[in-house]
Chain A
Amino acid sequence: MDLNTITEVRRPSKADEVKKWEMGFAWLAGGTWLFSEPQVNTHTLIDLETLHWPSLTASAEGLEIAATCKVVELDKFTAPREWTSAPLFSECCHSFLASFKIWNEATVGGNLVMSLPAGPMISLTSALEGVCTLWPRNGEPRKMPVVDFITGNHKNALAPGELLRSIFLPAGALKKTYAFRRFTLTHLGRSEVLIIGTRCPTTKEILLTITASTLRPIQLRFQSSPTAEVVKSAIEKAAPIELYLEDTHGSPAHRQHLTYYFAEQIRRELTA
């Protein structure tokens, strides 16, 4: 929709051209959320497109995903064969409520910065042990795991004006086996629960990442083959009922119920 309060669009070629951050500024990535609601407190858009960050940089250490990487690029990415968890890229892209047309504009970083519980790029990058690189307006870049970056429903660790520059997925996580479960109230709708389990082929450690059902990602680590009770009580401890999201895409009780149900399925699948 038209953002009628916007009076200026800046298109810098470097992020540090924007020195002084003011109230009313907003970084513009794909724009697919910014332009979907009135933004009456925003008057200036600062376009990230003109920074021309390379979208995907693969190396032996892992995959660097620029915040401005379009969802469609991630969906189409061809991963090295040894990255056994890479099919999750497409699984998670397909977990958007939004159409594939939106993927043509929406960015991975935008999804993280929006910090909605159902953000599938959050599910993906937190499950694959992603680490954010943040660029404060003043000061040195800082790094932070995705699971810590998201702090609540529509809340994250960004300071005013701070940029999410990229998300790095370490090769270790990309080489794990995985299990994926998701539920939506309507067909192809918004995730009510999205759980990803990964298993390290060498240590057999299981990493369970609960997203969509809870206000922020919950990540639980289990040595080798945990029992059903161990997994359930770990979830109980980490996610009391207050931590489950209530909105029109699912009730807290149902989300909790499904979280236990799918976590157990994942446990079985990964330990089979």
Chain B
Amino acid sequence: MSYKINGKTFNQEPRPGQCLRTFARDLGWFGVKKGCDGGDCGACTVWLDGKPVHSCLVPAFRAKGREVTTIEGLACNGVLHPMQQAFLDAQAFQCGFCAAGMIMTSASLSDEDKKDLAFRLKGNLCRCTGYHAIEDALNGVASVEKDVAGKACGSSLQNPLAHSIVTGTARYTADVKMDGMLHLKVLRSPHAHAKLLAIRTEKAAAVPGVHAVFTWKDVPRRPYTSALHDDYRVDPDDTYILDNVARFVGQRIAAVAAESEGAAEEACRLIEVDYEVLPAVFDPEEAMLPGAPMLHHKEADSRIQRPEKNVFVQIESEYGNVAEGFKQADVTVERTFFSNKIQHAHLETHIAIASKSEDGRIHVRTSSQAPFQTKAKLAYLFGIYPEQIHVYAERVGGGFGGKQEMLCEELCVLALLKTGRPVKWEFTREEEFIGGVSRHPMKTSLKVGAKRDGTLTAIEIRVVSNTGAYGNHGGETLGASLGQSLQVYRCANMKGTGYAVYTNIVPSGAFRGYGSSQTAFAIESIMGDLARKLGMNLFELQRKNIVVPGDTPHSIWEGPSDVEMGSYGLDQCMDFVEKALASGRGSKKPEGNEWLEGRGHAIHMHDCIPPTEQRSEAHIKLRADGTYYLTNGVTEMGNGTITSMRQVAASILNTTAGRIEITIADTDRTAYDTGTFSSVGTSVSCKSVSLAAEILRDNLLKVASEFTSTPLEKCRLVDSEIQCGSRKVTLTELFASVPDARHRLEVMRKAYGSPRTTCFNVHGFRIAVHRVTGEIRILQSVHAADAGTILNPMQCRGQVEGAVAQGIGGSLFERMVFDANGKMINPTFRNYRISAFADIPRTEIFFADTYDAYGPLGAKSAGETPIIPVAPALGNALADATGVRFDSLPFSADRIFAQLAEAK
């Protein structure tokens, strides 16, 4: 008997403990994905004799003599399965990493099954879409619009990789085979704080198949930060590739490169380490006290401000005079809020593959949001000329900030340099939790003063941010927490104090919302308290105090800023949400006196570009066949920038998006791009495309005008040809006819992230709360976004839906939990629940009608920020329903029920 996959017979035998997932991949079926490897996420769903199973849980030997069908076997003779077509038509994916499994599950459902999608899809997690588009696909709703020349901007065009995603042929980082590839695994610290006294690797090195074992003695002793910023100096140099001090449970201690993952794991288990366990501190307030264990004994050039107090960065600033402001206040409100540590949970874990070409150059294939920063960092760490390093991302399976970090590439390069063999390191899901990054938990104390009519007189904020064992993104998120969520309010006096504090917990990092989410939760909640105290409606209170066109927004800082409201749709967004909540739409409150009902909302204004350096460069050229070739360094991980870029270029070149081929995220093939984070996909990266496309269009017209001797004003670019007076010249003909002018048909432009325009988001909820059990049911969810021109309505909706779903998870149940020794107790998807289909209501979505003065074609950021007002909107709805203010996230039933005894 042999194995049969997608109708093909294989005589290879799996290893005894091998699961079907990796066996299928070994045989070349890369459509079978790994999201969790533990049966929770469903990304690896295949059919076994026609029944859907999670192939990561199926012993491979049990597939013998049975029919295995993967996503690659679903289409028949090149014709897509109806479910693949439905996913294509609804664009029921963003990063696409879950799509194969989602489609395999969906395609197995009967019409009867489809009546209960919440149940049928509970075993398929999607972190990007918020499930609405998936529901559409299952209901046969099509959203994709036709690609019409000149109409690209504003059309719901499909992702250029869509077909490869629904057929399982899109190549994510792991989906390559390389001869001689070694696998890397690491040994991680069991202690939250410990010094390595001795480390013995002889037994590990003797394991058959092991090629190299690395400890702190084998790595360049160069301090760096894993955070990826253009200006590395905003983060501290507090990290070594491998260190002789462990500062959190899960910190990597040693690495092994071996012929197989199994050999590397065995070797890791055989490494003997003598630790001197040191006292650890987990609470940032305690960490700042005298006598607290000190994490980093570093010099000033590490840029740690106060290592003796475990403070990486301390910020203190005042705009106006807060003391005076409070004197003028008739009413003050004060409260401290706590935000939770949550994980990105992008379905594709961190992964990198380093290899060398014959010319000696190093190639790093990676799942990164910032390949150019990774390249610079690798060059620095290993003392290699940057030209010798090539970093690229092909298709990235989600990021949300988690991949604005170099967490695996450096060990792969280290092992490559030692062994000369290609080296791959793929994080497990557990490693993602215990060795990746997560959102900064912040303690936010706020005091707000107002006159009786609601006019704000003073805001004072104190933020204590837990950056964890390392300071990556600690300073920038702290800065954001003291700025972005406050600047939406006009208040003459604002003062802030902030501390980014080291503790012995897994490091925090960049997370969608980047410090703003935490403060928005606090400020929007306390505005709810203030409204109640003043007896005002929250909308009314906000309208009295929000910035308006013509204002120069500020927060706690004096001095100039390059934030500039290039468009303003906050008023529209507030109106949309207020009207929707008053409409009576949505579900009714469940019957019974135990159910309380409440409404709440929150607003947010966000800078579309970070304060750090941000630039992007687009190259675009006409090719001999009359199509265009566009390159830009942006990363595509479900953010949809690749789709938007083609639309921007197509719109300006008056053609179809289909005529524009695009290459991205490759340090060899595209020009420098700072990275894809902080809402910049549209506002900076697409901006470079619009600038370049405009020049190319102008040049095309000029060249055509000269070539046909037609006055320029009589030349018009229409799809694949140029109308020159009464004569038509095709782009192919033009290209062939003007060899001397070709340099004018290839242009480049850079966009720089200044001034920084702002976008707005308002979220509203109507909820029911069970006063005994603490259960919260969302009856209505409404979101309004001001993203300027909507380049792609379907895609923008999808971004909002996904962000809202991530926000709901983080507000209602997501929580990384640690034991008394700093060990995370729930590093799996079954114990760290992310939103599943059943958890997410349909959100009504509205877009403001605005045109941004700075963004490309009037567009601005859409994807990052909808998450931000979700938590405070829920908190305000909860307070409205119960009369109780809940100040600590998440609002899971077991955390709120006790206080509900006080409910009104």
Give chain A's interface residues, CB within 8 Å of chain B. 1-9, 28, 30-32, 35-38, 40, 45, 47, 49, 94, 97-102, 104-105, 183, 185-190, 192, 247-251, 253-255, 257-258, 261
Q: How far is the CA of A221 from the CA of B428 in the complex (A)?
A: 46
User: Is the pair A248, B825 in contact by a Cβ cutoff of 8 Å?
Assistant: yes
Q: How far is the CA of A253 from the CA of B773 in the complex (A)?
A: 12
Q: How far is the CA of A190 from the CA of B828 in the complex (A)?
A: 13
Contact with A along B869-904 (1 / 0, CB 8 A): 000000000000000000000001111011000000
User: Is the pair A187, B118 in contact by a Cβ cutoff of 8 Å?
Assistant: yes
Residue B536, interface by CB 8 Å: no
User: Is the pair B123, A190 in contact by a Cβ cutoff of 8 Å?
Assistant: no
Q: How far is the CA of A42 from the CA of B832 in the complex (A)?
A: 26
Min CB distance A254 to B, Å, is 4
Contact with A along B247-266 (1 / 0, CB 8 A): 00000000000001110011
Give chain B's interface residues, CB within 8 Å of chain A. 15-19, 21-22, 37-40, 42, 45, 48, 51-54, 56-59, 61-62, 105, 118-120, 122-124, 260-262, 265-266, 269, 428, 772-775, 812-813, 815, 817, 825-826, 830-833, 836, 838-839, 892-895, 897-898
Given contacts A35-B59, A94-B119, A102-B123, contact A254 B16 (CB under 8 A): no
Q: How far is the CA of A19 from the CA of B785 in the complex (A)?
A: 68
Point out the residue from A31, A104, A105, A251 that lies within 8 Å of B894, measured CB to CB.
Answer: A251
User: Is the pair A248, B817 in contact by a Cβ cutoff of 8 Å?
Assistant: yes
Q: Chain A residues with Cβ under 8 A from B59's Cβ?
A: 9, 28, 31, 35, 45, 47
Given A2-B18, A35-B39, A102-B54, list of 19 further CB < 8 A pairs? Answer: A1-B428, A2-B15, A2-B17, A4-B17, A4-B266, A5-B262, A6-B15, A8-B16, A98-B123, A99-B42, A101-B53, A185-B813, A185-B893, A186-B833, A186-B839, A188-B122, A253-B898, A255-B894, A261-B773
User: Is the pair A4, B265 in contact by a Cβ cutoff of 8 Å?
Assistant: yes
Q: 20 A-B residue contacts at CB 8 Å?
A: A1-B19, A1-B56, A2-B22, A6-B16, A9-B59, A32-B54, A35-B57, A35-B58, A36-B39, A36-B57, A38-B265, A45-B59, A98-B123, A99-B105, A101-B53, A101-B105, A105-B53, A188-B838, A254-B893, A258-B773
Q: Is the interface of A mostly helix, strand, loop or mixed?
A: loop
Given contacts A101-B53, A248-B832, contact A9 B269 (CB under 8 A): no
Q: How far is the CA of A52 from the CA of B59 in the complex (A)?
A: 17
User: Is the pair B123, A5 in contact by a Cβ cutoff of 8 Å?
Assistant: no
Q: How far is the CA of A137 from the CA of B365 in the complex (A)?
A: 51
Cβ-closest 3 pairs across A and B = A99-B123, A6-B17, A4-B262
Closest to A10 in B: B16
Q: Chain B residues with Cβ under 8 A from A35's Cβ?
A: 19, 39, 56-59
Q: How far is the CA of A187 from the CA of B62 in the complex (A)?
A: 33
Point out the residue from B53, B118, B775, B830 that lies within 8 Å of A97, measured CB to CB.
Answer: B830
Q: How far is the CA of A4 from the CA of B258 in the complex (A)?
A: 13
Point out the residue from A36, A188, A189 that lies within 8 Å of B119, measured CB to CB.
Answer: A188
Q: Chain A residues with Cβ under 8 A from B815's Cβ?
A: 248
Q: How far is the CA of A1 from the CA of B813 in the complex (A)?
A: 26
Q: Chain B residues with Cβ under 8 A from A192's Cβ?
A: 894
User: Is the pair A247, B825 in contact by a Cβ cutoff of 8 Å?
Assistant: yes
Min CB distance A268 to B, Å, is 14
The total of interchain contacts (Cβ-Cβ below 8 angstroms) comes to: 148
Q: How far is the CA of A101 from the CA of B120 in the complex (A)?
A: 9
Point out the residue from A9, A49, A101, A261 that lies within 8 Å of B52, measured CB to CB.
Answer: A101
User: Is the pair B266, A100 in contact by a Cβ cutoff of 8 Å?
Assistant: no
Given contacts A45-B59, A187-B839, A248-B826, contact A9 B16 (CB under 8 A): yes
Min CB distance A267 to B, Å, is 16
Q: Chain A residues with Cβ under 8 A from B825's Cβ?
A: 247-248
Closest to A105 in B: B53
Min CB distance B326 to A, Å, is 38
Q: How far is the CA of A223 from the CA of B690 in the complex (A)?
A: 79
Q: Chain A residues with Cβ under 8 A from B61's Cβ?
A: 9
Closest to A94 in B: B119
User: Is the pair B831, A100 in contact by a Cβ cutoff of 8 Å?
Assistant: no
User: Is the pair B893, A32 in contact by a Cβ cutoff of 8 Å?
Assistant: no
Given contacts A3-B17, A6-B16, A254-B774, contact A105 B58 (CB under 8 A): yes
Min CB distance B902 to A, Å, is 15
User: Is the pair B836, A188 in contact by a Cβ cutoff of 8 Å?
Assistant: yes
Q: Chain B residues with Cβ under 8 A from A45's Cβ?
A: 16-17, 59
User: Is the pair B269, A40 in contact by a Cβ cutoff of 8 Å?
Assistant: yes
User: Is the pair A186, B39 in contact by a Cβ cutoff of 8 Å?
Assistant: no
Q: How far is the CA of A185 from the CA of B15 in the complex (A)?
A: 39
Q: How far is the CA of A104 from the CA of B105 in the complex (A)?
A: 13
Min CB distance A243 to B, Å, is 17
Closest to B898 in A: A253
Q: Chain B residues with Cβ under 8 A from A261's Cβ?
A: 772-773
Q: How far is the CA of A156 from the CA of B1 in the complex (A)?
A: 38
Q: Most B CB atoms within 10 A — which of A98, A183, A248, A255? A: A248
User: Is the pair A100, B774 in contact by a Cβ cutoff of 8 Å?
Assistant: no
User: Is the pair A99, B54 in contact by a Cβ cutoff of 8 Å?
Assistant: yes
User: Is the pair B42, A101 in contact by a Cβ cutoff of 8 Å?
Assistant: yes
Q: How far is the CA of A49 from the CA of B48 in the complex (A)?
A: 16
Given contacts A7-B16, A248-B815, contact A185 B892 (CB under 8 A): yes
User: Is the pair A32, B39 in contact by a Cβ cutoff of 8 Å?
Assistant: yes
Closest to A253 in B: B898
User: Is the pair B56, A100 in contact by a Cβ cutoff of 8 Å?
Assistant: no
Q: How far is the CA of A8 from the CA of B122 in the complex (A)?
A: 34
User: Is the pair B122, A254 in contact by a Cβ cutoff of 8 Å?
Assistant: no
Q: Chain B residues with Cβ under 8 A from A28's Cβ?
A: 59
Q: Chain B residues with Cβ under 8 A from A30's Cβ?
A: 57
Q: Chain B residues with Cβ under 8 A from A99's Cβ?
A: 42, 54, 105, 122-124
Q: How far is the CA of A35 from the CA of B16 in the complex (A)?
A: 12
Q: Chain A residues with Cβ under 8 A from B262's Cβ?
A: 2, 4-5
Min CB distance A28 to B, Å, is 7
Q: Chain A residues with Cβ under 8 A from B266's Cβ?
A: 4-5
Given contacts A3-B17, A183-B773, A248-B825, contact A104 B52 (CB under 8 A): yes
Q: Chain A residues with Cβ under 8 A from B53's Cβ?
A: 101-102, 104-105
Min CB distance B838 to A, Å, is 4
Given contacts A31-B59, A40-B269, contact A185 B838 (CB under 8 A): no
User: Is the pair B261, A250 in contact by a Cβ cutoff of 8 Å?
Assistant: no
Closest to A252 in B: B894
Q: Chain B residues with Cβ under 8 A from A100's Cβ?
A: 119-120, 123
Closest to A5 in B: B17
Min CB distance A144 to B, Å, is 28
Q: How far is the CA of A254 from the CA of B772 in the complex (A)?
A: 10
User: Is the pair A37, B269 in contact by a Cβ cutoff of 8 Å?
Assistant: no
Min CB distance A261 to B, Å, is 6
Q: How far is the CA of A36 from the CA of B122 in the complex (A)?
A: 17
Q: How far is the CA of A188 from the CA of B898 in the complex (A)?
A: 23
Q: How far is the CA of A114 from the CA of B213 in the complex (A)?
A: 36
Q: Most A CB atoms within 10 A — which of B123, B262, B772? A: B123
Closest to B101 in A: A101
Q: How far is the CA of A114 from the CA of B140 in the complex (A)?
A: 40
Q: Most A CB atoms within 10 A — which of B830, B832, B839? A: B830
Q: Chain A residues with Cβ under 8 A from B269's Cβ?
A: 40
Q: Chain B residues with Cβ under 8 A from A183's Cβ?
A: 773, 775, 893
Given contacts A4-B260, A35-B39, A104-B53, contact A187 B838 (CB under 8 A): yes
Point out the residue from B54, B123, B772, B813 that lies within 8 Å of A186, measured CB to CB.
Answer: B813
